Structure formats: structure tokens, C-alpha cells
């Protein structure tokens, strides 16, 4: 039997964690750097940060086509190597805001290529019977990176060590590249890529499937809320005179809640139906955003971090679970593709869209607006999916019996 925890698998998982850590760290770092270097508005700084995701989105189709023509290991080394090389210019004096934006976009292109290559390599190394288990491991790795990355960025921002942050990003990217040389992949193997269907271009007729759009819009709304946390929390803490430790440990609580609530989310999904996971998750995000907007002390930031970690991770995990469940339907590829595209769009362009509120109303209004967005998500889910009982426990059991699982 093929073993799972081989050297190649562990190194590939390490690459995945490091790349996502750099991504999450630089989302917050880029805003503070742009504001400090060029005194631009928070909205423009958010756009510079978010262009990273625009670059990542632009690579989905081309990289999948390249993977059909290149050796998987070659693609892994080339893409991770490019990700490392494009992290180096952060350590140099940027030619200007627009040059910095171009760098963010190109770095995002490398990120999209690298994460696609890493997921493909993971699938090549995974026994077919353990594909679902591996997907969960990689999801946990991304969840850990989503806490570690912003935590590191806040430390660098608080200590006014932005140059050190850029150096740390290049260092982690270099370690990821070195790990790539220890990954050995089977050659001439038909690979079932994790998440392969979501990376295929959706046809126009499938793209507007009502059910697919319902889940994708929820992912987009969740991405909007998450984006203003990872990009603006550092500037918000400095602007409000909040203690530095609170902003830093916000992400400790976020990570703790992420891991603590996964078993509870799984229980709710399997025993009580998907509705019982979606509604509480969105409500927790609403409360977390309100608490964040009212924060005036460390303990308030810690509570907001825990609530947001519990709500956001439960929402994204549940929506992803629903996309996997809907792979039994004829529009599976469309559903999963739209989900990931809109999640990335929400994270990428949320800082620019909501950052427009900062000059006139301050950061507090940004987080109140995020709370309103999450509250709208509750209403939207009920209207589009919840009231039909499509994802109720009873309907789930009926479909399971019909399909003979």
C-alpha cells in the first residue's frame, strides 16, 4: 500500500504552508508599506495589496494547460522559483506606487501558478482512497497560514520593521524553493488534481447556475469580510491608538478558534444539516465585526479575533463542503469554479471597495460595513437556499439513500 507521510508529501505540504504564509503576511504588509512609502489613501493601498489576487486569478486557465504539457515536478520548481524571485524586489526601493502595483500583480501570478502546481503534486502523491483526507490536511495548512501570516505582518508593522518583513517573505519563499528539490513525483501518471474542477473555465451557460451562484456569493461576502481584517487591522490599531499586543494576539485567537471549531462545524454539518452551520457562522462574523469596530482595549480585540476565526472558518469550510457535495450534480465543475473565483475576488478587491469609507468615516465604519455585509449574507442564504431545505439534514439523508452511499 502506498504510504501517505513520505518525504515528498511532507515537503510539498511545507511548500504549501510557506507560500500561503507569505501571501497572508504580504496582504497586510503591502497596505502599511504603501501608506508609509507614498502616503497614499488606505483605499489605494488596499488596491495595491489586492492586485495580488487579480494576478493569481489570471493564471488559473493557463497553468492548467501548462500542467498538461510539462512534467509536474518541473512546473512545481519553476513556479515556486518564480514566486521566490518576485519576492526579492520587495527588498529594494520601489520605483513608485504603480511599479509596486505591477510587482504585486506579477507576484500574484507566480502565487497562482505555485499553488496550482502544489495541489497537483499533492494529488499525484496521494492514494486515491485518501484524497479527502489529504484535502483536509491542506485546508488545515492554509488555515494555519491565515493566522501566522498576518500575525507576523503585525509584528513587523508595529516595530516599524517593514524592511525586515520583506526579508522574511523572501526567506520563506527561498525555503519553499529548497523544499521543492526534495519532492519526487511519479512520471507519466494520470493525476486527479485536488480542486481540479474548480480551476477549469466555466462555460457561460453553467456559470449562471442559480445554486452555484448562491454558494459563490456567500464565499464572496466572506472574502470581503476577511479582506478588511488582514489588510487594515495594522493601520486600524495604529490609527486608534490600540495597544500593539492586541492586534498581534488577535490572530492567535483567530487561529485557536479556527482549529477548535472545526470538529464542531463537522458535527453540525453531519448531524444537524448545513443550515445549522451557515447561520451561526454568519452571525458570529456579524458580532465579530461589530466588536472589532468598538474595540478600545486588548481584551476586545481578543474576543473579536476568536469570534471571527470561529465564524469565518466555519463558513468557508461549510461552503466548500457544499461544493464537494454538489459534485454529484451535472453542474459540479461550474459550482466549484465559481466558488473559488468569487472567494478570491472578495479577498482581493474588498480592501479597495470598503477602503473608500476610511477617509470620510474611519476604520470603524469599514468594520461596521463588513458586519452589514455578513448580516446580508444571512438573509441571502435564507432566500436563495435555506428556505428550500436544499441542504437540510432530512434532504441530505434522502439523497444519500438514493445514491446508495
User: In the listed set 140, 167, 193, which residue is the last one of a domain according to the structure?
Assistant: 193
Are both 71 and 188 inside the same structural domain? yes
Between residues 284 and 267, which one has the greater pLDDT?
284
Residue 68: the pLDDT is 62
Are both 130 and 238 inside the same structural domain? no
Radius of gyration of the chain (CA): 20
Cα distances (Å, whole numbers) of residue 272 to 91, 98, 119:
50, 50, 31
Are both 355 and 392 inside the same structural domain? yes
Helix axes 97-124, 72-85, angle to 10 degrees: 150
Mean pLDDT confidence for 366-393: 84
Q: What is the mean pLDDT of the chain?
A: 79
- From CA 311, how far away is CA 234, in angstroms rounded? 21
Residue 212: the pLDDT is 57
Q: Which of 117-121, 149-153, 241-245 holds the top average pLDDT? A: 149-153
Q: What is the CATH number of the domain that holds 278?
A: 1.20.1250.20
User: C-alpha dihedral over 124, 67, 223, 40, to 10 degrees?
Assistant: 130
DSSP state of 318: H
Label residue 398 by pLDDT band (50, 70, 90).
low
Q: How far apart are the first and last CA of the chain?
A: 24
Mean pLDDT confidence for 368-387: 90
Instruction: Give, for 132, the enclosing helix (H) or strand (E).
Output: helix 131-158
The fraction of the chain above a pLDDT of 90, given in percent, is: 30
Cα distances (Å, whole numbers) of residue 72 to 123, 184, 189:
11, 9, 10
Range of the domain at 364: 195-405
Q: Which of 54-58, 107-111, 318-322 holds the top average pLDDT? A: 107-111
Residue 194: the pLDDT is 44
- From CA 28, how far away is CA 19, in angstroms rounded? 15
- From CA 344, how far away is CA 17, in angstroms rounded? 18
Are both 55 and 135 inside the same structural domain? yes
User: Tens digits of per-residue pLDDT, 35-48?
Assistant: 888 988 888 988 88
- From CA 281, how far away is CA 307, in angstroms rounded? 9
- From CA 295, how far away is CA 272, in angstroms rounded? 34
User: In the listed set 193, 221, 240, which residue is the last one of a domain according to the structure?
Assistant: 193
Residue 393: the pLDDT is 55
Are both 99 and 222 inside the same structural domain? no
Residue 59 three-state SS: coil
Are both 161 and 217 inside the same structural domain? no
User: Tens digits of per-residue pLDDT, 220-261?
Assistant: 999 999 999 988 888 888 787 776 666 777 888 888 888 777
Mean pLDDT confidence for 309-338: 67
Residue 402: the pLDDT is 52
Are both 187 and 201 inside the same structural domain? no
CB 198 within 8 A of CB 333: yes
Residue 18: the pLDDT is 95
Are both 341 and 280 inside the same structural domain? yes
Are both 181 and 51 inside the same structural domain? yes
Residue 204: the pLDDT is 39
CB atoms within 10 A of CB 398: 11
User: Tens digits of per-residue pLDDT, 4-28?
Assistant: 567 888 898 899 999 999 998 999 8
Label residue 87 by pLDDT band (50, 70, 90).
very high
Are both 306 and 357 inside the same structural domain? yes
3-state helix, strand, coil in the chain (%, to 5): 80, 0, 20
Label residue 198 by pLDDT band (50, 70, 90).
very low
User: In the listed set 177, 193, 209, which residue is the last one of a domain according to the structure?
Assistant: 193
Are both 391 and 347 inside the same structural domain? yes
Domain count, the chain: 2
Are both 285 and 157 inside the same structural domain? no
* pLDDT at 331 > cutoff 90: no
Amino acid at each position: 500500500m502506498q504510504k501517505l507521510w513520505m518525504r515528498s508529501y511532507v515537503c510539498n505540504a511545507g511548500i504549501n504552508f510557506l507560500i500561503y504564509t507569505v501571501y497572508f503576511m504580504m496582504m497586510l504588509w503591502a497596505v502599511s508599506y504603501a501608506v508609509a512609502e507614498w502616503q497614499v489613501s488606505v483605499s489605494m493601498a488596499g488596491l495595491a495589496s489586492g492586485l495580488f489576487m487579480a494576478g493569481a486569478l489570471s493564471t488559473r486557465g493557463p497553468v492548467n494547460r501548462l500542467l498538461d504539457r510539462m512534467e509536474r515536478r518541473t512546473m512545481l520548481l519553476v513556479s515556486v522559483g518564480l514566486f521566490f524571485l518576485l519576492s526579492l524586489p520587495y527588498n529594494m526601493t520601489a520605483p513608485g506606487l504603480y511599479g509596486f502595483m505591477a510587482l504585486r500583480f506579477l507576484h500574484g501570478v507566480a502565487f497562482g501558478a505555485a499553488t496550482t502546481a502544489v495541489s497537483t503534486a499533492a494529488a499525484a502523491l496521494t492514494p486515491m482512497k485518501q484524497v479527502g483526507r489529504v484535502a483536509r490536511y491542506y485546508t488545515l495548512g492554509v488555515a494555519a497560514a491565515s493566522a501566522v501570516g498576518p500575525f507576523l505582518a503585525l509584528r513587523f508593522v508595529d516595530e516599524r520593521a517593514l524592511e525586515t518583513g520583506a526579508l522574511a517573505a523572501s526567506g520563506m519563499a527561498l525555503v519553499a524553493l529548497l523544499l521543492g528539490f526534495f519532492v519526487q513525483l511519479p512520471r507519466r501518471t494520470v493525476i486527479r488534481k485536488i480542486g481540479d474542477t474548480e480551476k477549469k473555465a466555466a462555460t457561460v451557460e453553467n456559470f449562471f447556475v442559480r445554486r452555484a451562484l448562491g454558494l459563490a456569493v456567500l464565499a464572496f461576502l466572506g472574502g470581503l469580510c476577511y479582506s478588511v481584517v488582514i489588510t487594515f487591522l495594522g493601520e486600524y490599531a495604529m490609527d486608534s491608538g490600540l495597544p500593539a499586543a492586541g492586534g498581534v494576539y488577535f490572530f492567535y485567537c483567530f487561529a485557536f478558534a479556527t482549529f477548535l471549531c472545526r470538529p464542531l462545524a463537522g458535527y453540525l454539518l453531519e448531524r444537524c444539516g448545513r443550515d445549522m452551520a451557515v447561520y451561526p457562522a454568519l452571525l458570529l462574523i456579524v458580532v465579530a465585526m461589530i466588536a472589532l469596530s468598538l474595540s478600545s482595549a486588548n481584551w476586545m480585540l481578543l474576543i473579536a479575533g476568536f469570534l471571527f476565526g470561529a465564524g469565518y472558518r466555519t463558513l468557508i469550510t461549510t461552503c466548500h463542503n457544499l461544493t464537494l457535495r454538489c459534485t454529484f450534480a451535472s453542474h459540479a465543475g461550474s459550482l466549484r469554479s465559481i466558488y473559488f473565483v468569487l472567494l478570491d475576488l472578495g479577498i482581493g478587491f474588498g480592501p479597495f471597495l470598503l477602503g473608500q469609507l476610511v477617509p470620510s468615516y474611519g476604520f470603524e465604519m469599514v468594520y461596521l460595513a463588513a458586519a452589514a455585509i455578513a448580516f446580508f449574507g444571512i438573509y441571502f442564504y435564507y432566500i436563495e437556499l435555506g428556505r428550500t431545505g436544499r441542504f437540510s439534514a432530512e434532504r441530505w439523508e434522502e439523497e444519500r439513500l438514493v445514491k446508495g452511499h
